[in-house]
Amino acid sequence: MKRIAFFDTKPYDRIWFDEYNDGRYELVYFEGKLNHHSAKVTADFDGVCAFVNDEVDAKTIDILEKNNVGILAMRSAGFSNVDLKAAKDRIKVVRVPAYSPYAVAEHAMGLLLTVNRKLARAVSRTRDFNFSINGLMGVDLYGKTVGVIGTGIIGRVFINICRGFGMKVIAYDPYPVKDSEIEYVDLDTLFEKSDVISLHCPLTESSYHILNEQAFAKMKKNVFIINTSRGSLIDTAALLDALNSERVRGAALDVYEEETDLFFEDMSGTLIKDDTLTLLISNPNVVLTSHQAFLTEEALQAIARKTLDNFDDYFNGKPLENEVAYKK
């Protein structure tokens, strides 16, 4: 029986993998993240499964290859934490390209509603029997313009949700969807016209810090920023400056640039030495969740099924339809 090492696993990961595995593989779960230190435990494994904050760099790839691990399966759509160049011709890398776009898109709208209508603050007040509504005013979303950056499956689901709220939608994507009803514009136009900007694009060299100091300077005053994709799409220092200058009315984030050693962990008893994160969390116009946009039953079920299917294809010598490979 083939043995698979799962890294950075939590109880909610195991539920559906154990159910859908059905005795196909021996699944061994490790709570720690995959990196060039922990990769040493893979000597007796045939495959490895990793998540978004694991560090699959060249050193890690070297160790996996030395241990005769032939496949790395990402149980996520994103793979920006994998050195594909180092993996080329040495280890197969697969992913789950789509699990539940509704989970992420719905969370994005939930974040927008929370930061706009100050729901977290309102709930905190009423728990203390403070029923004042002073300082809780928001704006109507109806009639506002939302700029969607990235019109993949998740972006398009989010667009449909926004249309249901009566919002006008404009979008930017270097690869527009053909024959769609989406109104595409260039980035500068999107910055200038949007009341809400929501990020739904992958992290690449070209999208790194796509929202930077120059971008914020072009935006309409009192814009809302939503990010459920990758933290490094936003220059966090520039976002803080834009919040302080009131260029940005509010930011709703499910991801953070330096989240790797923090998110998915209980850090409540730890001194956090990240001053930027502390400033974000303490800002009354910021709502931050810890990379939970994907976390629905339906999404976890789909991730488990597709990841196990990816392993099946590899070990049975079938084409890897979900392979990601290095491209110059």
| pTM, entire model | 0.87
pLDDT tens digits, 63-73: 999 999 999 99
Q: Does the pLDDT at position 111 exceed 70?
A: yes
Paired tokens of 215: 């971008």
pLDDT at 285: 96
Give the pLDDT band (50/70/90) at residue 121.
Answer: very high
Q: How far, rounded to the nearest angstrom, does the alpha carbon of residue 88 sit from its chain's CA centroid?
A: 25
Fold classified for 3-99+297-315: Rossmann fold (3.40.50)
Provide mean pLDDT across the span 130-134: 96
Paired tokens of 275: 């001053």
Q: Which residues of 202-224 are buried (b: 16+ CB within 10 A; e: fewer)?
A: ebeeebebbbeeebbeebbeebb
pLDDT at 224: 98
Q: Does the pLDDT at position 262 exceed 90?
A: no
Backbone angles phi, psi at 231, to 5 degrees: -60, -35
Alpha-carbon span 53 to 259, nearest angstrom? 8
Catalytic positions, written as ranges? 230, 259, 291
pLDDT at 328: 66
Place of tokens 């930061």: 115
pLDDT at 261: 79
Sorted by where each begins, the domain ranges of the chain are 3-99+297-315, 101-288
Give the pLDDT band (50/70/90) at residue 147.
Answer: very high
- Cα dihedral sign for 267, 271, 277, 281? positive
Backbone angles phi, psi at 148, to 5 degrees: -105, 120
pLDDT at 320: 96
pLDDT at 89: 92
Gyration radius of the chain over CA positions: 21
pLDDT at 142: 98
Give the count of beta carbons closer than 10 Å to the beta carbon of residue 234. 26
Provide mean pLDDT across the span 118-130: 96
Q: Does the pLDDT at position 1 exceed 80?
A: yes
Q: Does the pLDDT at position 259 exceed 90?
A: no
Give the pLDDT band (50/70/90) at residue 122.
Answer: very high
Homologous superfamily (CATH) of 101-288 is NAD(P)-binding Rossmann-like Domain (3.40.50.720)
Instruction: Please report, rounded to a whole number, the percentage of residues in the chain having pLDDT higher than 90.
Output: 86
248-253/145-149 β-pairing: unpaired
Kindly give, in sequence order, each residue whose CB lies less than 8 Å from that of residue 265, ignoring residues fewer than 6 positions away.
none
The residue that leads in pLDDT, 99 or 5, is 5
Provide mean pLDDT across the span 104-130: 97
Label residue 246 left, alpha or beta by phi (over 0 means left) and psi (-120 to 50 means alpha). Answer: left
Give the pLDDT band (50/70/90) at residue 255.
Answer: very high
**Do the domains 101-288 and 3-99+297-315 match in fold?**
yes
Provide mean pLDDT across the span 6-33: 94
Mean of the per-residue pLDDT values of the chain = 94
Provide mean pLDDT across the span 125-151: 97
